[in-house]
């Protein structure tokens, strides 16, 4: 009988891609192992997970809206419906282990897994634990974290510090530079700024960059720009107005390994996945934490690098004035780039996905 693992969570790329990396590592260790994903209907995991080659089932769960909303009145009904569906999924699939990667989609599935006596492993990506993971931590058999000092959120005896799992193709991007330039239609002899706002985009980053595009062109730089869906049309209009081939904009970039490969400097939010990927790719980075992240955890993620002189920090409120000058300063200073590369590389955890997969298999054994 093949072993079976169910993986739940999602909502953003920061939850989805670590989950896929764990699944890939599990399949590498045991090709016969069966993996089923459980996500939230209408969220991006319903598209991204099948694209990675895995089956996914959606629950009708939704998150709490921070503003007053009639949608919040439906939440108890969605929760009950999701719990009942999760129970059916578990009884049909019969997993040996349930893995939760955070996000509200993992709540109902892991609650029912616990009720059915299935061992649970939680993977917490951030330096500040999310609500769902904090609630489930008491019932988990093992909790894999990326940052030390998580005892304030979880039982100490269950914690293992293993880092965040990232896609294996990011481990060695230096050999892919030529391929990357060809893929994105950019020039090999120009310094490249890669700007990304996470899987859903970032308005402050997009608007700040938009206002300063001409400055980068004037100094001979080129830009790879992941805008998110809501800003892509605005970005393309701006590029057309500048009559340039030196700026390429995409709403979403699937080939992140090639994007990192061509980047001399990266501008990014400070989500856990982005930070872990930057460490592994060893790229000089300017981090702009999302200020509305729960408990300001993105600032805590960023400071973990800044305190080691491994990245620069620009506050979201200051991005309009500071982002473009800081990016131009770093692009022009090779010595500063090399210093950041050296320090950020020390923080990488290249075996995180393998190590977490091993913890999952231990629970089966």
Whole-number pLDDT of residue 200:
67
277 marked ligand binding residue: yes
Q: How far apart are CA 341 and CA 132, in angstroms?
A: 34
Whole-number pLDDT of residue 71:
61
Whole-number pLDDT of residue 14:
78
167 marked ligand binding residue: yes
Q: How far apart are CA 260 and CA 281, in angstroms?
A: 7
Whole-number pLDDT of residue 149:
87
253 marked ligand binding residue: yes
| Angle at 143 (CA atoms; ends 137, 146), nearest 5 degrees | 120
275 marked ligand binding residue: yes
Q: How far apart are CA 84 and CA 80, in angstroms?
A: 6
Whole-number pLDDT of residue 170:
87
Chain segment 182-215, per-residue pLDDT in tens: 999 999 999 999 999 766 679 999 999 999 999 9
Domains and CATH numbers, the chain: 4-165+350-364 (3.40.50.2000), 172-345 (3.40.50.2000)
3-state helix, strand, coil in the chain (%, to 5): 50, 15, 35
42 marked ligand binding residue: no
Positions in the chain short of pLDDT 50: none
Residue 268 DSSP SS3: strand
- As given in the structure block, the two tokens for residue 203 are 């308005």
272 marked ligand binding residue: yes
69 marked ligand binding residue: no
C-alpha distances in Å from residue 83, one per residue of 49, 272, 297: 21, 28, 28
Whole-number pLDDT of residue 76:
73
Whole-number pLDDT of residue 198:
63
274 marked ligand binding residue: yes
CA-derived radius of gyration, the chain: 21
Whole-number pLDDT of residue 244:
96
Whole-number pLDDT of residue 171:
79
34 marked ligand binding residue: no
199 marked ligand binding residue: yes
**Residue partners of 193: CB distance under 8 A and separation at least 6:** 216, 221, 222, 223, 224, 263, 264, 265, 266, 267, 327, 331
- As given in the structure block, the two tokens for residue 47 are 């598209």
Tokens 């002899």, residue? 189
């Amino acid at each position: 009988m093949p072993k079976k693992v169910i993986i739940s969570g999602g909502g953003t790329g920061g939850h989805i891609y670590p989950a896929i990396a764990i699944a890939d590592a599990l399949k590498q260790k045991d090709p016969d192992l069966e993996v089923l994903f459980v996500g939230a209907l209408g969220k991006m995991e319903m598209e991204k997970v099948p694209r990675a080659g895995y089956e996914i089932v959606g629950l009708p769960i939704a998150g709490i809206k921070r503003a007053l909303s009639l949608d919040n009145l439906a939440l108890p009904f969605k929760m009950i419906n999701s719990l009942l569906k999760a129970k059916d999924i578990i009884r049909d699939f019969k997993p040996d282990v349930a893995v939760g990667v955070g996000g509200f989609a993992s709540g109902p599935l892991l609650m029912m897994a616990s009720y059915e006596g299935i061992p649970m492993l939680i993977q917490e990506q951030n330096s500040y634990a999310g609500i769902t993971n904090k609630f489930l931590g008491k019932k988990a058999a093992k909790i894999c974290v990326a940052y030390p000092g998580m005892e304030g959120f979880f039982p100490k005896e269950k914690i293992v510090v293993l880092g965040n799992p990232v896609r294996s193709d990011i481990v060695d991007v230096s050999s892919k530079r030529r391929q990357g330039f060809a893929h994105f239609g950019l020039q090999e002899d120009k310094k490249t700024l890669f700007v990304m706002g996470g899987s859903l985009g970032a308005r402050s980053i997009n608007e700040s960059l938009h206002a300063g595009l001409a400055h980068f062109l004037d100094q001979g730089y080129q830009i790879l720009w992941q805008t998110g869906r809501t800003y892509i049309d605005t970005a393309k209009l701006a590029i057309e107005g500048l009559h340039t081939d030196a700026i390429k904009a995409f709403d979403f970039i699937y080939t992140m390994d090639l994007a990192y490969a061509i980047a001399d400097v990266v501008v990014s939010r400070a989500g856990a996945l982005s930070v872990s990927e930057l460490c592994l790719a060893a790229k000089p980075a300017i981090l702009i934490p999302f200020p509305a992240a729960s408990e300001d955890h993105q600032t805590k993620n960023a400071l973990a690098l800044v305190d080691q002189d491994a990245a620069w920090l620009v506050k979201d409120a200051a991005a309009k004035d500071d982002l473009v000058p800081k990016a131009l300063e770093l692009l022009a200073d090779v010595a500063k780039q090399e210093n950041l590369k050296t320090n950020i590389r020390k923080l990488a955890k290249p075996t995180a996905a393998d190590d977490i997969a091993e913890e999952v298999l231990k629970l089966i054994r």
